[in-house]
Amino acid sequence: MLLSGGTSIGLFDSGLGGLTVLRELHRACPGQRYAYLGDNARFPYGTKSADTIVRYSRECAGFLLKQEVGLIVVACNTASSIAIAALEAELSVPVIGTVVPAVREALAATRSGVVGVLGTNATVASGVYEAALREREAGVKVTSQACPLFVPLVEAGMLDGEIVEKVAELYLAPLKAQGVDTVILGCTHYPLLIGPIRRFLGDGVAVVECSKAIARDVQDLLGLPGAPAQGRGATQYFVTDEVGQFNKLAGLFLGGQHVEAVRIESLL
Ligand code: DGL
């Protein structure tokens, strides 16, 4: 598919987390142009009400449309869980969120039909993952776990070590007790904690990263060949608050890539 209405792919997140999606898109669709918006002035979304998350998401999408994007990737599970229906109904360009791609991969991976979902408070409270899993596979058993300490740990650059292992145990032990064989990382920050998460869950549990699942969907939508190509598309980075910390941590999310974000005064 050729993008209509614009030539680049727009992504937004409450801040840095969506960069894990961008990293996978850079790998899967390297020739594309990207516009990434991190709404760091209003981070985090995961503790906000549904009304507020829908309003923020509309404003982020509106800003990206002004950058002439032809496709919007909602690179935030919180926004995807709560605002995707509004965005799909209102926007003139295709919208891809995290939930559908991640659910598809989880159902393909599970053998026991017992699936765990990790997410922010708002994502878990929305019940969207459970509903999407059950809609496609009525018999699936779902255990969801809000992990409010994971995002601050990642933002503090704490990706490993004793404290992280303890927090991982706290959140993952209930899922293990339920006998999950597949766990969805339902937050775009969590791939940075993949080491401790995998160590606690063990080899027998499949871990689904929505960032990788979305990248495959975008690749399919654009009709690009399946084999990942080398190189990176040109990317513009926009933030709604200060750039220093964003640029510093962005390298961590993007595998060492240097980022120079532009601060925008208003999304409107
Ligand atoms: N990246 C967001 C998500 O995927 C989490 C951070 C936040 O709470 O805004 O849900």
Atom of ligand 1 nearest to the CA of 43: 9
pLDDT in tens, the chain (268 residues): 656 556 799 999 999 999 999 999 999 998 899 999 999 999 999 999 999 999 999 999 999 999 999 999 999 999 999 999 999 999 999 999 999 999 999 999 999 999 999 999 999 999 999 999 999 999 999 999 999 999 999 988 899 999 999 999 999 999 999 999 999 999 999 999 999 999 999 999 999 999 999 999 999 888 866 544 445 558 999 999 999 999 999 998 998 889 999 999 989 8
pLDDT of 5 reads 53
DSSP assignment of 34-62 equals: EEEEE-TTS---TTS-HHHHHHHHHHHHH
Q: Is there a domain that residue 3 lies in?
A: no
Q: Is 253 helix (H, G, I), strand (E, B) or coil?
A: helix
Residue in 16, 11, 75 with CA at minimum distance from that of residue 242: 16
CA triple 244-246-251, angle to 5 deg: 110
What are 233's two structure tokens?
A: 């598309």
The finding on whether 36 has its CB within 6 A of some atom of ligand 1 is no
Q: Are residues 127 and 219 in the same domain?
A: no
Torsion of CA 244, 239, 231, 214, to 10 degrees: 130
For residues 103 and 32, membership in a common domain is answered with no
The two tokens of residue 250 are: 């962005």
Mutate which of 20, 42, 45 for ligand 1? The one with the most ligand atoms within 8 Å of its CB, which is 45
Residues 140 and 150 in one domain: yes
Domain with 71 in it: 9-97+213-263
To the query of whether residue 76 is one of the catalytic residues in this protein, the response is: yes
The last residue of a domain, from among 169, 190, 211: 211
Residue 18's φ and ψ, nearest 5 degrees, are -65, -15
Is residue 2 a part of any domain in this protein? Answer: no
Predicted pLDDT of residue 2: 55
| CB 189 near ligand 1, within 6 Å | yes
For ligand 1, atom 8, the nearest C-alpha belongs to 46
**Ligand 1 mean position, distance from CA 117 (Å):** 14
Q: What is the count of structural domains for the chain?
A: 2
Q: Report whether 221 contacts 1 (CB < 8 A).
A: yes
Spatial contact of 227 and 219, defined as CB atoms under 8 Å apart: no
**80: CA distance to ligand 1 center in Å?**
10
Shared domain for 200 and 223, answered yes or no, is no
User: Which of 106, 20, 10 lies closest to 63, judged by CA?
Assistant: 10
Whole-number pLDDT of residue 227: 45
Shared-domain flag, residues 218 and 195: no
CB 169 within 8 A of CB 200: yes
Is 153 inside any structural domain? Answer: yes
Same domain, 52 and 148: no
pLDDT score at 154: 93
Assess whether 123 and 160 both reside in one domain: yes
Cβ of 13 closer than 6 Å to ligand 1, yes or no, is yes
**Which of 24, 40, 184, 189 should be mutated for ligand 1, with most atoms under 8 A from CB?**
189
CATH number, domain of 254, equals 3.40.50.1860
- Residue 2's contacts (CB-CB under 8 Å, 6 or more residues apart) are none
Domain limit, last residue, from 174, 193, 211: 211
Domain final residue pick, 211, 237, 253: 211
Gap between the Cα atoms of 92 and 197, Å rounded = 38
How much is the pLDDT for 230? 46
Does the pTM exceed 0.75?
yes
